[in-house]
Amino acid sequence: MRTGLESFDLLANAGCAGCRQPFAIDIAMAFQPIIDVTDGSVFAYEALVRGANGEGAAAVLAHVTPDTRFAFDQLCRRTAVEAAARLGIQSLVSINFMPNAVYEPALCLGTTLAAAQRHGFPIDNIMFEVTEGEKIEDRPHLTRILAEYKRQGFTTAIDDFGAGHSGLNLLAEFQPDVVKLDMDLIRGIDGSRVRQAILASMMSLAEAIGMSVVAEGIETVEEYACLKSMGVTLMQGYLFARPELGRLPAVVLPETPRAHAAVA
């Protein structure tokens, strides 16, 4: 376990007043696996926010305001680490963060690091994931956050790539370890030459930059077979497992059709 930052308690107590305020409601985390389809192993579990009684993410996010986003972001980090440790997760755990709620990258890591130390969760197993769909108020600030997280040794990821406000411009400024392709690109890819061409270009770009590619939102065997035939090895979606609260979901790796026919 890496323990590069010398004073977890000091960092946990540092920060703005907004970070230390209680959030309006209690939350929990559901986990959904990202599968390495070469052998069916779990590459990572994404922590997805839920209400304490299983309410959906939308019900929780309805309580997030510009004033409460700082407390919410910190609470999500702590809750994800605590739940991952309790469930005995040994793979990466992907924690979504809100860049607009991070005012100083190193200090805002404090509660995450303190929670990891408190619960005996390896810091090396944490992946920080930012959605490319969120409107970024200060893109240079986002690149500073990601660069600091990467410097500290965390895995970094951009979620929903292709859906939002930054796109290739963000990649030009910062290259994460993982890029997660937006599910709208993946949906029906087995029947779309255009989507396949875009994916092929993304795969080539990722290889050149040194990033891993995750395809999100896979729901059909046909999508899975097409992606696998194109060399995608990391996948996430209801086809393999739905998010579960309080336990880790069983992973189903379906059989692929004998051959995947190219789209004419």
The verdict on residue 253 lying in a domain is no
Cα 9 to Cα 15, 102, 257: the distances in Å are: 12, 19, 53
Residue 209, CA distances (Å) to 29, 66, 214 in order? 32, 35, 15
Across the range 81-108, mean pLDDT stands at 89
Residue 256 lies in a domain: no
Q: What are phi and psi of 108, to 5 degrees?
A: -70, -10
Residue 145 in contact with residue 96, Cβ under 8 Å? no
Residue 43 domain-assigned (yes or no): yes
* Residue 247 falls inside a structural domain: no
Instruction: Answer with the residue of higher pLDDT: 259 or 264.
Output: 259
Residue 99 pLDDT: 80
Confidence at residue 261, expressed as pLDDT on a 0 to 100 scale? 47
Identify whether 255 is part of a domain: no
Q: Which domain holds residue 103?
A: 9-241
The closest of 262, 255, 251, 199 to 31, measured between CA atoms, is 251
CA–CA distance, 185 with 194 (Å, rounded to integer): 10
Angle of the 110-119 helix axis to the 69-87 helix axis, nearest 10 = 20
The closest alpha carbon to 235, from 164, 186, 177, 175, belongs to 186
Residue 1 lies in a domain: no
The count of structural domains within the chain is: 1
Chain-wide mean pLDDT for the chain?
Answer: 85
Query: Is 106 a domain residue?
Result: yes
Residue 169 confidence (pLDDT): 79
What's this model's pTM, rounded to 2 decimal places?
0.87
* Strand, coil or helix: 124: helix
The pLDDT tens digits of the residues spanning 200-232 come to: 999 999 999 999 999 999 999 999 999 999 999
Asked whether residue 217 is domain-assigned, the answer is yes
DSSP calls for 40-86: TEEEEEEEEEEETTS--HHHHHTT--TTTHHHHHHHHHHHHHHHHHH
CATH number at residue 124: 3.20.20.450
The per-residue pLDDT for range 38-92, each reduced to its tens digit, is 999 999 999 999 999 999 999 999 999 888 888 899 999 999 999 999 999 999 9
Q: Closest by alpha carbon to 112, among 82, 77, 142?
A: 77
Higher pLDDT, 66 or 241: 241
- 163-185 tens-digit pLDDT: 655 567 778 888 899 999 989 99
Which of 9-23, 120-134, 148-162 is predicted least confidently? 9-23
